[in-house]
């Protein structure tokens, strides 16, 4: 049997919906710099995150239909290990805060705070590394008119002393 909503149920459901206009109204133009497919190369430095090794990946950024959320896919290798994730990025219109929710191929889930400082993007959050919590941040910058993206990843056990662990450069191979 089909269920039909009353007007009051529809209004109540709409009130519970997140600010789907948020990213489109605040930072859509700024987020557009990520759009497209990227070839990524770099290195993982020997650290608490893991042993030193090369990183190669393809990254793809695209808008979810309606352009309220940016979808990011990362597929590649860190050393000999497969590394993949899907990430959903959105900003709240009322607070201006941005968050990214990441789902990794190893079953872990992470939430990142995203700050925009001029042309730099800063992601920060906590990672569970084999039962050890550590703070992680990534500084992203663009150059070559948006055709090159540089990502520098660091970790800290105390939030004051930071150690690099990933250094990545991505080249845009296809724009959207």
Tokens of residue 73, six digits: 């896919």
The backbone region for 47, taken as left when phi is positive above 0, alpha when psi lies in -120 to 50, beta otherwise, is beta
If you search the block for the tokens 């090369």, which residue do you land on? 54
pLDDT by residue (tens digit) across 40-59?
A: 999 999 998 889 999 999 99
Supply the pLDDT for residue 95.
Answer: 80
Domain spans, the chain: 21-174
pLDDT by residue (tens digit) across 63-105?
A: 999 888 999 999 999 999 999 999 999 988 778 788 999 999 9
Is the pLDDT reported for residue 153 higher than 50?
yes
Supply the pLDDT for residue 29.
Answer: 76
Q: Which helix (H) or strand (E) holds 156?
A: strand 148-156
pTM: 0.81
Tally of CB atoms within 10 A around 141: 13
pLDDT by residue (tens digit) across 98-152?
A: 899 999 999 999 999 999 887 799 999 998 877 888 999 999 999 999 999 999 9
**pLDDT-derived band at 27, boundaries 50, 70, 90:** low
- The class that CATH gives domain 21-174 is mainly beta
Give the integer Cα–Cα distance in Å for 7 and 14. Answer: 11
């Amino acid at each position: 049997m089909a269920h039909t909503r009353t007007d009051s149920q529809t209004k109540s459901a709409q009130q519970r919906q997140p600010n789907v206009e948020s990213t489109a109204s605040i930072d859509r133009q700024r987020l557009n710099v990520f759009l497209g497919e990227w070839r990524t190369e770099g290195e993982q430095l020997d650290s608490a995150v893991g042993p030193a090794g090369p990183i190669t990946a393809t990254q793809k950024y695209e808008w979810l239909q309606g352009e309220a959320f940016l979808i990011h896919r990362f597929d590649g290798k860190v050393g000999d290990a497969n590394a993949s994730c899907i990430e959903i990025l959105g900003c709240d219109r009322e607070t201006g805060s941005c968050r990214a929710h990441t789902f990794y191929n190893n079953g872990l889930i992470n939430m990142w705070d995203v700050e925009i400082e001029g042309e730099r993007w800063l992601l920060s959050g906590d990672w569970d590394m084999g039962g050890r919590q550590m703070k992680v941040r990534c500084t992203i910058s663009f150059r070559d008119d948006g055709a090159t993206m540089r990502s520098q990843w660091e970790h800290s056990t105390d939030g004051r002393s930071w150690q690099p662990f990933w250094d990545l450069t991505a080249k845009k191979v296809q724009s959207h």
